[in-house]
Amino acid sequence: MIQGAHRFPRQDTVVYGRPAAEVVIELAKRYGASRLMIMTTKSLLEAAQTLSADLGILSAGVFSDIAAHSPRTDVIAGANAAREAKADLLVAFGGGSVIDATKVMQLCLWWAGIKQPEDLGPWRLGRGEDRRDASAIQSGVRMIAIPTTLSAAEFTAVAGVTDGEKKVKEAYTHPDMAPKAVVLDPALTLTTPAKLWFSTGLKAIDHAVEQLCNLQRAPMGDAVAAEGLRLLAEGLPACKETPNDLEARAICQHGMWLAISGGASGRGMGASHAIGHTLGGTYGVPHGITSCITLHAVLEWNKNYGADRQALVAKLMGRRTLPASVVVRDLVIKLGLPWRLSEVLIGASHLRDIAEHTMHDRGIRTNPRPIRNADDIIQILELAA
């Protein structure tokens, strides 16, 4: 008998296909909020200012200093800005780094003792005498998210934040950390750089594939991951062919939502995500690009462990006669994205360090093919070299 648990995030609603500003105004009224602070990145500052103007007297300002991989320093700065503005609702406008940073800003607002980057340390996930249980903190100011990429950070209660001093990406979670509402407005993705749109789309595919290839079955998780993968395999090439096609972009948004929802089964991801965390947090490789490089290599290395699952991946992506690793790699190339470590200037001299670091990631424990030591990870990295 199949056993498990599917954990739904504490989200109130997901609104799609409508202009974001009018939805945010409706949500603010529903939540009784009157001071909305927009959290974003410098590249989206102009668009965020337009959103702020559309919100009128509801806007309490724009904070635009969130960098890639959500540095601790930016999380603290954003929380301090929200505290000073007396914000009663945060609006994360951007990609995964913005949304993850805003998730943890909530934690800073809920616990008065978190005012410096080092204050975040004890609340991170993991073992150690210094660790504290974030779930014991009473929640307060919540957030809504308006994603402009396909990273799907807005659909989970876990956030990745980088410790800049150690150059390590760490995980944080709290039952109320997931955005209270998500607004999927495909029109706001038209200015997202193509490389960012497509690479985060590959990250979404990574979410689906590592769920479907997990050796533990979870009917709900498998179903949403499968449909998510099918939609992404349809929508991403359509966006490549016709960049302004809002329907294709909406298909991708629904695909990434379904794909990440497979993770609610609690099975964990696999080696592609584990290696990606190291490449991102330690080597600065963009969040989506990591999956472009790691997923095909991990599928190749895992090919004799759950071959039927990999066959399903290839079928869902519309190329049932080819190995899943080839199907994924071909899509990466078709979308004009890098698929080798050498393309992001990571050479053979770094493989041992990447492997040793990755051995500490939880993802290696749920990879279909058992990972015994760093040498196994080096084998995967060599397939991506």
CATH topology of domain 193-383: Dehydroquinate synthase-like, alpha domain (1.20.1090)
**Mean pLDDT within 78-88:** 97
**Mean pLDDT within 113-133:** 89
* Whole-number average pLDDT of the chain: 96
Q: Which of 1-10, 112-121, 215-224, 267-276 has the lowest mean pLDDT?
A: 1-10
- Residue 325 near residue 282, CB atoms below 8 Å: no
169 confidence band (pLDDT: 50, 70, 90): confident
CA–CA distances in Å: residue 147 to residues 4, 124, 321 = 30, 24, 35
287 confidence band (pLDDT: 50, 70, 90): confident
CATH topology of domain 13-188: Rossmann fold (3.40.50)
165 confidence band (pLDDT: 50, 70, 90): confident
Give per-residue pLDDT as tens, 195-241.
999 999 999 999 999 999 999 999 999 999 999 999 999 999 999 99
What is residue 109's predicted lDDT score, i.e. its pLDDT? 97
CA–CA distances in Å: residue 134 to residues 16, 108, 120, 124, 141 = 31, 11, 10, 8, 15
Give per-residue pLDDT as tens, 128-156.
778 899 999 999 999 999 999 999 999 99
**Fold match, 13-188 / 193-383:** no
What is residue 32's predicted lDDT score, i.e. its pLDDT? 98
For residues 120 and 165, give the distance between their C-alpha atoms in angstroms, rounded to a whole number.
13
For the chain, domain boundaries: 13-188, 193-383
164 confidence band (pLDDT: 50, 70, 90): confident
Chain center to CA of 215: 22
1 confidence band (pLDDT: 50, 70, 90): confident
Residue 168 has pLDDT above 90, yes or no: no
Residue 178 has pLDDT above 80, yes or no: yes
Residue 355 has pLDDT above 90, yes or no: yes
Strands of 118-273 (E only): list them: 143-147, 158-163, 168-173, 181-184
DSSP state of 243: T
What is residue 114's predicted lDDT score, i.e. its pLDDT? 94
